A and B are shown apart, each in its own frame.
Chain A
Amino acid sequence: MKPAKFDYLSAAAVSDVAAELAAGQEATHGETKLIAGAQSLGPMLNLRLARPAKLIDVSMLPDLRTARATDAAIEIGASVTHAEIEDGDIAGVSESVIAAPPVSWLRDAAANIAHRAVRNRGTLGGSLAHADPAADWIIVMTGLAASVVVDGVDGRREITMDAFVTGPFETALGAGDLIAAVRVPWPAEGARWGYWKFVRQVGEFAKASATVLSAPGAAPPRVAVGALGRQPLLVEPNAAADFVAGRTTARAILATALPDRPAGEVALHAAALDNALAKANDQASEPSAP
């Protein structure tokens, strides 16, 4: 379990990354990959499932290590770690922002990612780029209608989460792209949120997961189902509204949306959806951040 040989560069500025990625694209001797916390790529290197010729470490890039609040959203740098989110130890935003949704919701989600040792190293952007179907951030960010801010060869662009994850371990990222930040819109006044994942053990990959985001009187609720071995399923708005209002069941929604899945598996995902809704309904309405 020793990785094959690779070159390692620690990036000091985003511009270094772009130049190196461009150079890597032209080189013929192998792939250049970005690395941050190495919690997914590290084992893949050791198992020699990934054999990049060059790794560019973006975990220390200052621009990627902070957050900022705008009128519409909070933008969290891609190299902020799960542990920093868990602890609310995020540079660039005020304590009131950290105490309120959606950051308070993100903190809860972060606290249940794998084990603390993984959270100490693993990063938000790294998790999204890896796009493991069972991972937490891809379902949570889909559920929160977030988008991914990407710096590419043609400059900066924003990709909504439902377009970002294109399949299992597949994203819309192209060669030369670097995730700069994740933009999470402020939830509506009085919004409620529930995220629930099914794990038999602390630290296990989720067998089923779901999110519910609803705000009485606002836009239709947003309901997402994860850990499907593919990109998250965003439940169609009318069905989501019926589900949150109790007019239909999780099982009925999933039987329609996932007709080919075995009954036992559908039952697990339905339990996840029911639990996510129950969490959202249990949650006292919290004021949204300014």
Chain B
Amino acid sequence: MTPPDGHGGDGLVGKGVARPNVKRLIHGRGRYTDDISVPHMLHIAFVRSPYGHARINGIDAAMAADAPGVIRVVTGADVAEICEPMLAIAAHRPGHKSAPQHALAVDHVCYQGEPVAAVVAASRAEAEDAADLVMVDYEELPAVMDIMAALDPASPAIHPDLGDNQCFEHTTVTGDAAAALAQAAFTVEHEFEFGRHTAVTLEGRAILADWDTVEERLTVHHSHQSPYQMQDVFSRHLGIPEHKVRVITPDIGGGFGLKINVHGEELAVAAIAKMLGKPVKFTADRLESFVADCQTRDHLGTAKMGVDENGKITSMDFENALSVGAYTAYIRFGLAEGMMAITCAAAPYALSDYHARTRVAYVNKGIVGMFRGVGVPIGCAVTEVLVDQAAAKAEIDPVEFRRMNYHKDEDYPLVSVGGYAAKYMSLHRCLDACVDIMDYDGLRADQAAQRDSNVWRGVGVATFVEAAAFGPVYYGPSGARVSTQDGCTVKLEPSGVVRVMTSVTDQGQGTLTGIAQIVGDQLGVGMDAIDVIAGDSATTPYGGGAWASRGMAMGGEAALQAGKALKANILDLAASILQTSADALTLENGEIRDAASGEARMDLAELAKVGYFRQDTLPGGTQPELMVTRHHVPDTPYYVANGVQGAHVEVDIDTGFIRLLGWWVADDCGRVVNPLMVDEQIRGGVIQGIGNTLYEHCQYDETGQLLNATLADYLLPMAGEMPDIKIAHVETPLTNTELGANGIGESGTIGAIAALWCAVNDALRPLGARVSEVPMTPERVLQAIAEATAPGGVA
């Protein structure tokens, strides 16, 4: 099937329009940050801490400074002279503790790979050669690696000024969970460990910073999700007036949330450009990406669920602890992973009593930052695994058990026990749709039949919620300079074609294609008449960029409103030209038509010609306004998307090998602007979730060494092992906006971990075994089976 090219104006929204930029990218004509070179450009290699935790007693850079090609060796102390350290303390969360983080470490390193000094040289190879020659006198300090050990106040404080290693603690109480659990007909309990992993973007982090010594202007090309955020950061930390900082984000090869964080090296690169008055470039190689990219997850948990004699879930207790590494990821606070986990847990279910606590620990590992799903996959997996366990104990089919326990459609709007505010969730419709496309009953029949021949198959059905497009209600009180609005400018060009400037950015999702479709429909023009510009803090409207699945939900609404406003201006101008009223005209297929008869009166090119070149023909005082900007700010803390995923697996109980047999997703992301892009988001997200569950794991030893910092040792999900992923759409247009689109970027990942975990436990249930750690390595699966089947085991 050839996707429509969108030519023709019978409506672009809802069509699987192919991304106009894909051809350029696959032809190798992409322009990523590392592709950009400017005259006199220098390269940076960082000297990084080989220790998990150490004091720096001195740095001797003399030999390195004399090495071939080296221009300067810059230490943490040098950068600190012109660059404020990063420190974010959440104003709305009393008790939150955070330590200042220097762009490059000064005196003290807290994780292996932390940048300590920068070697600036004529080539990257020369910079790397010289980085070897920088002699750093380290005094190793005891490393705190274990989450629970770190939360013990007796553990040595990584940041002595903070007193201990607890960053944050929060307890959510709704009703009386202890009493409800005590009164329950039965309870189920499960332990959880979510391993730490990392984003592994195809394009590593990259930045090219140039300081104009005459105009005192900083221009940065940056592989980043938010040029606006980085303009703000560079301006404030380097003391440069904001209008003299321009951040451009060219083509980007994957973000996944990693590239919304502020990494110390990137701030250092801008500082060094200013220090030297020269353009400097840094591109993270794969080893650096492993040790110094923000990482994610690293949670522990125990959860308990109470069920009454009718099979109704009454109560849940969720004890969560996680590590954020050595610092909280700037400009946010290191709170969201834990808060989202305990807030979103149990969200689909109508229980009454809930108690949850999250505790966040500093450890000597890489920093945990934003990553697809941010804590929600944890809350989702913990809940869904417990729900399956409860259904089994109640001897009720897990799908039926969910249906019994979901919120009812008439109960909305509601706030879940965890505090998750939902105007509506299409839980029942998504469950029906998923069960239908997966042939649930057929899978169950096959499962029973296969067990007779020692084949252990499992079916997992998991419900997920996605809190998308976080707004000012959430971030405003925190004090963080996080822009929770997005904007769009639409300009009619003199020949009747359209330029769109949006604040949302595209790291490969196809967001900009959706923006063009929305504007195209408002103006009645096809994809071939629209060009979208994004990722330039100097020229595009201010906004958030890409985070929290906001591209369509917020950026799309801003585009719709801007397009609509320009359409009104166009019709006003046409009315002046045609001596009629704007109400009597419509704009369709690039033509201004008589609303009543449909007769074409003039085309957009003719109108634009008058608007730009022949104002002399207009009635006196007419001011054509053929460029319009609109912004959108959400009126709720976030928009709520939801869905159901189904996973089908086979577990080889001799090897612990998990084979993926099939995967299904029924998703409700509101109005589907582009089903092709939405399906790609779902599939990509599911695969990333599968990677988290089966393969990906940043393994640190007890001294803080990352043991698997190469792609030979760190496994990623690969095409060969992935199942076919079938998708059904349940479309409930969001009522907060005219467009009605909701978030989609994180849904796949959020639900996949839960669905796969449920499926594996389902396969092992007859053996009395269950897996309590991800990634589910063969060793862990075998260990779970061995423990369950050993004499005195849990079976």
Contact = CB atoms under 8 A, between A and B. Distances in A.
B712 interface: yes
Interface in A1-15: 1-2, 4-5
B286 A1 contact: yes
Interface in B187-216: none
Interface string A118-144: 000000000000000000000000000
Nearest to A274: B654
A203 B710 contact: no
B712 A43 contact: yes
A205 B712 contact: yes
A59 B694 CA distance: 37
Contacts, number: 58
A201 interface: yes
A207 B778 contact: yes
Interface string B649-662: 00010111100000
Contacts of B657: 198, 200
A282 interface: no
Interface residues of B, number: 26
Given A264-B786, A268-B656, A271-B654, A198 B778 contact: yes
A284 interface: no
Given A264-B783, A267-B654, A268-B656, A201 B712 contact: no
Interface in B157-172: none
B613 to A, nearest CB: 55
Find the residue from B285, B655, B718 having the highest chain A CB count within 10 A: B655
Most chain B CB atoms below 10 A, which of A5, A48, A202, A271: A271
B767 interface: no
A1 B720 contact: no
B84 interface: no
B580 to A, nearest CB: 66
A242 interface: no
A43 B710 contact: yes
Contacts of A274: 654
Contacts of B287: 1, 47
A43 B285 CA distance: 12
A268 B720 CA distance: 22
A202 B655 contact: no
Contacts of A268: 655-656, 778-779, 782
Interface stretch (B121-129, B238-246, B521-529, B724-732): B121-129
Contact of A200 (B710, B712, B715): B715
Interface residues of A, number: 22
A204 interface: yes
Interface string A7-51: 000000000000000000000000000000000000100011000
Nearest to B658: A200
Contact of B128 (A2, A204, A265): A2
Contact of A264 (B125, B285, B694, B782): B782
B129 A264 contact: no
A117 interface: no
Given A1-B287, A2-B124, A198 B782 contact: no
A30 B778 CA distance: 42
A19 to B, nearest CB: 29
Interface string B101-140: 0000000000000000000000011001100100000000
Nearest to B720: A202
Contact of A198 (B655, B710, B720): B655
B710 A201 contact: no
Nearest to B124: A2
Given A1-B287, A271-B655, A203 B778 contact: no
A219 interface: no
A161 to B, nearest CB: 24
Contact of B720 (A2, A201, A207, A267): A201
Interface string B640-656: 00000000000010111
A5 B129 contact: yes
Contact of A4 (B129, B286, B652, B656): B129
Contacts of B720: 201-202
A200 B656 CA distance: 10
A204 B129 CA distance: 31
Contacts of A5: 129
A263 B786 contact: yes
A8 to B, nearest CB: 15
A203 B718 contact: yes
Contacts of A4: 129, 132
B695 interface: yes
B656 A201 contact: no
Contacts of A47: 287, 710
A268 B712 CA distance: 20
Contacts of B452: none
Interface in B748-795: 778-779, 782-783, 786
Interface in B681-724: 694-695, 710, 712, 715, 718, 720-721
A40 B65 CA distance: 32
A48 B782 contact: no
A5 B68 CA distance: 12
Contact of A204 (B286, B710, B715, B786): B715
Interface string A251-277: 000000000000111011001001000
A205 B783 CA distance: 21
A176 to B, nearest CB: 29
A200 B285 contact: no
A200 B721 CA distance: 8
Interface in B733-761: none
A264 B694 CA distance: 17
Contact of B694 (A43, A200, A265, A271): A200
B651 to A, nearest CB: 13
A234 B129 CA distance: 44
A271 B783 CA distance: 15
A190 B652 CA distance: 32
A126 B533 CA distance: 50
B782 A267 contact: yes
A283 B114 CA distance: 54
A253 to B, nearest CB: 16
Nearest to A263: B786
Contacts of A271: 652, 654-655
Contacts of A198: 655, 657, 778
Nearest to B659: A200
B653 to A, nearest CB: 10
B718 A202 contact: yes
Contacts of B783: 264
A261 to B, nearest CB: 12
B710 to A, nearest CB: 7
A101 B189 CA distance: 55
A106 to B, nearest CB: 23
Contacts of B656: 264, 267-268
B654 A201 contact: no
A33 to B, nearest CB: 19
A267 B128 CA distance: 44
A119 to B, nearest CB: 15
Nearest to A2: B125
B710 A48 contact: no
Interface of A: 1-2, 4-5, 43, 47-48, 198, 200-205, 207, 263-265, 267-268, 271, 274
Given A201-B720, A271-B654, 7 more contacts: A2-B124, A47-B287, A198-B778, A200-B657, A200-B695, A264-B779, A271-B652
30 contacts: A1-B128, A1-B285, A2-B124, A4-B129, A43-B712, A47-B287, A48-B132, A198-B655, A198-B657, A200-B657, A200-B694, A200-B695, A200-B778, A201-B718, A201-B720, A201-B721, A202-B718, A203-B718, A205-B712, A207-B778, A263-B786, A264-B656, A264-B782, A264-B783, A264-B786, A265-B779, A267-B656, A267-B786, A268-B656, A268-B782
A-B CB proximity, top 10 nearest: A1-B285, A2-B125, A202-B720, A271-B655, A264-B782, A271-B654, A2-B128, A264-B779, A264-B783, A201-B718
